[in-house]
A and B are shown apart, each in its own frame.
Chain A
Amino acid sequence: MIHSLFLINSSGDIFLEKHWKSVVSRSVCDYFFEAQERATEAENVPPVIPTPHHYLLSVYRHKIFFVAVIQTEVPPLFVIEFLHRVVDTFQDYFGVCSEPVIKDNVVVVYEVLEEMLDNGFPLATESNILKELIKPPTILRTVVNTITGSTNVGDQLPTGQLSVVPWRRTGVKYTNNEAYFDVIEEIDAIIDKSGSTITAEIQGVIDACVKLTGMPDLTLSFMNPRLLDDVSFHPCVRFKRWESERILSFIPPDGNFRLLSYHVSAQNLVAIPVYVKHNISFRDSSSHGRFEITVGPKQTMGKTIEGVTVTSQMPKGVLNMSLTPSQGTHTFDPVTKMLSWDVGKINPQKLPSLKGTMSLQAGASKPDENPTINLQFKIQQLAISGLKVNRLDMYGEKYKPFKGIKYMTKAGKFQVRT
């Protein structure tokens, strides 16, 4: 399976290598660099690159390429999914996953990687298990370790590894028992020039932060489970129960985890909470263009739209823009031609707008396409699909946990074509 792993930063340095079988020379990465050069942009580097003796499978996250070297047939998603899991684990361990952090914690990184794969086959990928095997570095622990000489490495096999509940460690204890669930929905939409919806769908997730003592068994039920068109679960969720009763029943992992992600299909009518009025025009003769956009609330169910940001990739011909926003701040990067406008809250009485002119490259023909506007926003206390959690019950433990549920709607890939 996975032979070796190379971590490559954006400037093309290999700053970490790990081999699970015999050593593969790092010169194999030259093929990768070649492909990288051809692709010009990092995200266009093909995830699978064949070389004469190996295959390079890579993922690109946090400005780092994680390049896995394999030698024989293996489902590519297997490797890709695993690499993403590695990144997630690093993030979990160190808070952020960046080159300096990895370099600072190289020993822990190495120990973790050693546990995650054996002979290239995943061994322990559950963060709860890994954290028992290799404890994440904290300042306190570093201090304690230097004084007492104890180590970050556990000497017992984590109990989870053998049980059918591998995601939960045993002997969890909290003084405050709490379980929080965030229902977060993202609207993916493409709105066309005239403001009508071309496609819109809702992708939701329920992220949980569960800090409960012992082995609690939770059930979560919804007011309207039929809304969920397609779901994927954390392994802890009992599928049969969902099939038959549409109830989520599970023994949760300890800490933060994604309980489920769901999809509300495009067939359902999706309420679009914002609209964008735009007037962007390039005049053929002059070297100026007009630019005007206004953002306003549409179907918000009475909630405020917050955290609105508008970004747009302007055509190459645009040299500069002189714009005045009615609220918020805006920037235009003349090199990348990226316009971004941080709007903030939308006040329905006084709609935010951004107006001004664009100066175009003299002599160049006018761009034939208007830029696409990408929108970001947040609406607190609202799940746009109408999904509602009915109740959360706990069995198996006797204390009364504190329960909290939060709803939020966000823009996913929300694009307005102009």
Chain B
Amino acid sequence: MSSNSFSYNEQSGGGEATELGQEATSTISPSGAFGLFSSDLKKNEDLKQMLESNKDSAKLDAMKRIVGMIAKGKNASELFPAVVKNVASKNIEIKKLVYVYLVRYAEEQQDLALLSISTFQRALKDPNQLIRASALRVLSSIRVPIIVPIMMLAIKEASADLSPYVRKNAAHAIQKLYSLDPEQKEMLIEVIEKLLKDKSTLVAGSVVMAFEEVCPDRIDLIHKNYRKLCNLLVDVEEWGQVVIIHMLTRYARTQFVSPWKEGDELEDNGKNFYESDDDQKEKTDKRKKPYTMDPDHRLLIRNTKPLLQSRNAAVVMAVAQLYWHISPKSEAGIISKSLVRLLRSNREVQYIVLQNIATMSIQRKGMFEPYLKSFYVRSTDPTMIKTLKLEILTNLANEANISILLREFQTYVKSQDKQFAAATIQTIGRCATNILEVTDTCLNGLVCLLSNRDEIVVAESVVVIKKLLQMQPAQHGEIIKHMAKLLDSITVPVARASILWLIGENCERVPKIAPDVLRKMAKSFTSEDDLVKLQILNLGAKLYLTNSKQTKLLTQYILNLGKYDQNYDIRDRTRFIRQLIVPNEKSGALSKYAKKIFLAQKPAPLLESPFKDRDHFQLGTLSHTLNIKATGYLELSNWPEVAPDPSVRNVEVIELAKEWTPAGKAKQENSAKKLYSESEEEEDSSDSSSDSESESGSESVEQGESGEEGDSNEDSSEDSSSEQDSESERESGLENKRTAKRNSKAKGKSDSEDGEKENEKSKTSRSSNDESSSIEDSSSDSESESEPESESESRRVTKEKEKKTKQDRTPLTKDVSLLDLDDFNPVSTPVALPTPALSPSLMADLEGLNLSTSSSVISVSTPAFVPTKTHVLLHRMSGKGLAAHYFFPRQPCIFGDKMVSIQITLNNTTDRKIENIHIGEKKLPIGMKMHVFNPIDSLEPEGSITVSMGIDFCDSTQTASFQLCTKDDCFSVNIQPPVGELLLPVAMSEKDFKKEQGVLTGMNETSAVIIAAPQNFTPSVIFQKVVNVANVGAVPSGQDNVHRFAAKTVHSGSLMLVTVELKEGSTAQLIINTEKTVIGSVLLRELKPVLSQG
């Protein structure tokens, strides 16, 4: 598309010419410095002054006026230098308006536009994704060839951006760059290839659009992404859906074999107008041939079906054409209902949809027959809609419904809209030719119309009758006579010409009338229309040949008149006829055959639909609507004889990056790999079996009912598909420094867990051993990162067995019952709990980005380890049977990014229901905030439930006191966070760590010496100990004897750097660098004994 736009502009002389056109049409044109209209010049002067003022409000006013000028099409280009200065304005609205201006005029003022480039380059690095995205948008919209390399670089960078929104904009920028410089094609294809792999639904539509524009022929790029696109389709935004569906239609036609039975095509295109259900059956019978549909082909058809219910007419149409072009014919029927629904929409939508239905109804009329009445015309329809509806009615007509239709047509013929009435008459003619049973009825009806008062109606009837009579002239002498009489009254040239032609053809059947007609015509010859004159000549010639006795003189008179006619066509015709029929010495051999030539048997015209020839265009396209091949139209190829290798669409498991945990943990790596491949598969299966949204939605409702965090789960599970996607992508691209910004990993994982849990629930018939391990399984995801605790795991298993008797075995509460155990056993057992996915991707995303203002290297990573140490919130003795425990899942809190998330497990140890559990009065220190959980309606005896809440501790270890209330009682409880839980792990490189550490020295540094046995100084032990105490992330270290950990505080986001440096002997130096010296020293105090212990 854009390449064309470029060349078009080239043709018209580039920007200048466009500008000229601009000025020519706009009445006011303060062109250049020599503005003739001084008032305008002055006005612009005043705008310039406003732009140069240092008040934002003045600048904003000026920009608003300038945008007003642009909108009206007035030229504001001379203000360019003044405007471009404001490109770096702090005020976001001014900035946006300057962008608008720049995009509009940069092409004309290329040199000046370059001044703004550096601003955009800077903005491309902005932590705010909206700013990055809009900088990319504007940069790529500035059509200045010099900056092509800069654009290329920016696109490449943006295509690897963490924010899908920025990547979406990168996809758009590809098209812009391509239209500016098609030379870049190869490089751009690389970017497209990369973005096609993107799993964000936001990006999918845009990158496919870019693909369609830049390299629609590179179908090989689609193979690997085909299944993903099919599966994501439902969640892609509606505009993207349209583009993807169109592309996939083309793809399917090249990659799969035809699902249409042989002979189908013939039957449809042929004379069989009466295709009905019987035929359908017949076809199914024929289908015995061993055709099996490629599962991928089926996938596409299945996954697009729900989109027929879209509110967006373009999506519905796109699905309809997909079904039309690639689904088995027996399945295409489902689209008709949706298309008929679209007829309720606006006039323009109706117009396009009716056109497409018209084409479809020619080939497969059975599809729309049940909806016949939906195409009945209303007097209020615009004419173009009326004629299209008529067209469809004609296509649908068959013996069964023709009588109803003809009655309907009778009403239309009387319509006040004469153009429409005329169209109806043609329709009747077509029905008459198509359905032989009604030919006579139609003909009679049309003859009745000949006495209509309206001339247009009569004329049209004549023309149609002429065509009908041509098919079976013998029986209709009476009608011809009747028509001959009409010549006296009718004035419409086409009708007169038709009558004359008809009489000429049948002159031997009406021997008395024909010469008389010629006599009358000879009288009026000079005043007739050219069309009629030609037919008079013809009539004369024919009569001369058959009845020369009566008409010889008349014909010669007419030929003489014709000889001096003003119109050369008529003069030519006259000369030709004279030579042919009037014998003279010069006349050649042809005149002998004159009679054969003039009175040859002429084949009857075939009355065909104007939509007959449109079916070679893909439905729903512009080309189809116009019936011309539009620029950039991509042909739909024919089905291949043999399907190309389907294995190209197989996707191998994505390679995993290995360095996401500290080095030297081979075991962990293994498990990680396994885990990911698992989740990969799982994602596939869950995607294909259930299209994430609706499925997860219903699931979350269930949870909501049972009193869990309906909303939060909702969010995250809905996010799940895209979340997981971004995760694995991130895994693979972790070398890239900027990537590790999110901690989506854990979230994505817990999603897949949800699915697993469900699986678990169904597996009830398992041995106890199996069962416990399956529980283990279900939590393995979040646990895997804390691999080294395997011994404790086994311990847990045994314990579990012990407690099995007490355990509530109902499958539904299985995962919760793990916590029950801890209830009896308050000693810390490091059990990794399944952590419900809690945070919508966005939060984390924004959080990461916002925090990174201080330094781009800080990004929250996933917790390296989630300890399962639970703390007693309310003992069952003091809680009258209600027990509550809490633990820190180490997830970013969804309730606010400054909050620490806490999971509370409530157990009912009484033998009656506890109702209405909620949080009552809160006594929080100043500044502290708390997000409470939703009240729990009731808790069954022996039941337990886990809820999550968030507390903003303001980076202090102060206690949060509140009341936990039931229907009858209130219990005062408090939570005091361990200092290690006030942190969020951060991923950074060693270099960055050192840099940051260098900044945080002096009073920001606390240190201590630790003495312990050497076996406690192995890397894994240190790692385990540190992460057990504090939620920190490991920093890859180049030295064996130095271990580094990094985190940031939850509330203020201050860095917390922990270094353990092993010295000779059994000593080590523990150093903590942080701005928050208080927390730093508390953490030091807590770490020191842990590390010293044996």
Contacts and interface: CB of A to CB of B under 8 A. Distances in A.
Contact of A77 (B172, B620, B711): B620
A144 B405 CA distance: 64
Interface stretch (B312-320, B483-491, B656-664): B312-320
Interface stretch (A21-29, A92-100, A320-328, A383-391): A21-29
Contact of A215 (B408, B411, B634, B714): B714
B22 A25 contact: yes
Contacts of B21: 25-27
A241 B378 contact: no
A122 B348 CA distance: 19
B5 A71 contact: yes
Contacts of B704: 217, 395-396
Contacts of A157: 128-130, 133, 163, 165
Given A75-B620, A162-B165, A368-B453, A249 B2 contact: no
Contacts of A249: 694, 697-698, 701
A337 B351 CA distance: 27
Nearest to B375: A199
Interface stretch (A40-48, A290-298, A346-354, A355-363): A40-48
A372 B417 CA distance: 12
Nearest to B26: A26
B632 A73 contact: yes
Given A55-B630, A107-B64, A163-B719, A77 B349 contact: yes
Given A23-B18, A72-B631, A166 B9 contact: no
B311 A1 contact: no
A261 B314 contact: no
B848 interface: no
Interface string B719-732: 10110000000000
Contacts of B634: 73
A415 B56 contact: no
Contact of A240 (B130, B698, B842): B698
A16 B209 contact: no
A1 B1 contact: yes
Given A17-B73, A369-B416, A75 B374 contact: no
B235 interface: yes
B694 A368 contact: no
A58 B349 CA distance: 11
Contacts of B310: 232-233, 235
A151 B91 contact: yes
A160 B187 CA distance: 32
A395 B718 contact: no
B691 interface: yes
Interface in B586-644: 620-623, 625-626, 628, 630-634
Contacts, number: 351
A164 interface: yes
A50 B626 contact: yes
A71 B620 contact: no
B625 A48 contact: yes
B555 interface: no
B239 A21 contact: no
B715 A215 contact: yes
A22 B15 contact: yes
Contact of B378 (A24, A163, A413): A413
Contact of A201 (B374, B625, B694, B697): B374
A43 B246 CA distance: 30
Interface string B110-134: 0000000000000000001111010
A76 interface: yes
B341 A76 contact: no
B616 to A, nearest CB: 14
Given A75-B246, A75-B314, A251 B714 contact: yes
Contact of B376 (A15, A109, A166, A198): A198
B452 A368 contact: yes
Contacts of A72: 1, 4, 630-632
Interface string B337-348: 110110010111
Nearest to A214: B711
A398 B934 contact: yes
Nearest to A216: B711
Interface in A68-109: 70-78, 80-84, 106-107, 109
Nearest to A364: B453
Contacts of A151: 60, 91-93
Interface stretch (A111-119, A300-308, A402-410): A111-119
Contact of B693 (A156, A231, A238): A238
B348 A80 contact: yes
B234 interface: yes
Interface in B191-249: 201-202, 205-206, 209, 234-235, 237-239, 242, 246
Contacts of B68: 106-107
B57 to A, nearest CB: 6
The number of chain B residues touching the other chain, given as a range, is: 35 or more
Interface in A1-24: 1, 3, 14-19, 21-24
B318 A3 contact: no
A398 to B, nearest CB: 4
A417 B416 CA distance: 13
B631 A417 contact: no
B389 to A, nearest CB: 12
Contact of A75 (B317, B626, B698): B317
Interface in B676-719: 690-691, 693-695, 697-698, 700-701, 704-705, 710-711, 714-715, 718-719
A98 to B, nearest CB: 16
A165 to B, nearest CB: 6
Contact of B622 (A55, A110, A316): A55
A168 to B, nearest CB: 10
Nearest to B452: A368
B22 to A, nearest CB: 6
B414 A368 contact: yes
A23 B76 CA distance: 14
A164 B234 contact: no
Given A121-B206, A163-B841, A110 B697 contact: no
A263 interface: yes
Contact of A235 (B92, B311, B840): B311
A74 B373 contact: no
Interface in A153-209: 153-157, 159, 161-166, 170, 190, 192, 198-199, 201, 203
A313 interface: yes
B710 A395 contact: yes
B25 interface: yes
Contacts of B715: 163, 165, 215
A333 interface: no
A234 B311 contact: yes
Nearest to B237: A166
A170 B844 CA distance: 14
A84 B237 contact: no
A365 B693 CA distance: 66
| 10 nearest A-B residue pairs (beta carbon) | A240-B694, A72-B632, A25-B21, A238-B694, A395-B704, A72-B1, A151-B93, A396-B711, A396-B710, A369-B414
28 contacts: A22-B15, A60-B348, A71-B4, A80-B349, A83-B348, A84-B346, A84-B348, A107-B97, A119-B2, A122-B237, A122-B239, A154-B130, A157-B165, A159-B842, A159-B846, A161-B202, A162-B842, A190-B378, A201-B373, A203-B344, A217-B711, A231-B309, A233-B309, A238-B694, A239-B234, A240-B693, A368-B452, A417-B411
Interface of B: 1-2, 4-6, 8-9, 15, 18-19, 21-22, 24-26, 56-57, 60, 64, 67-68, 70-73, 91-93, 96-97, 99-100, 104, 107, 128-131, 133, 137, 140-141, 143, 163-165, 168-169, 172-173, 175-176, 179, 201-202, 205-206, 209, 234-235, 237-239, 242, 246, 306, 309-314, 316-318, 337-338, 340-341, 344, 346-349, 351-353, 371, 373-374, 376, 378-380, 382-384, 408, 411, 414-416, 452-454, 620-623, 625-626, 628, 630-634, 690-691, 693-695, 697-698, 700-701, 704-705, 710-711, 714-715, 718-719, 721-722, 840-842, 845-846, 934-935
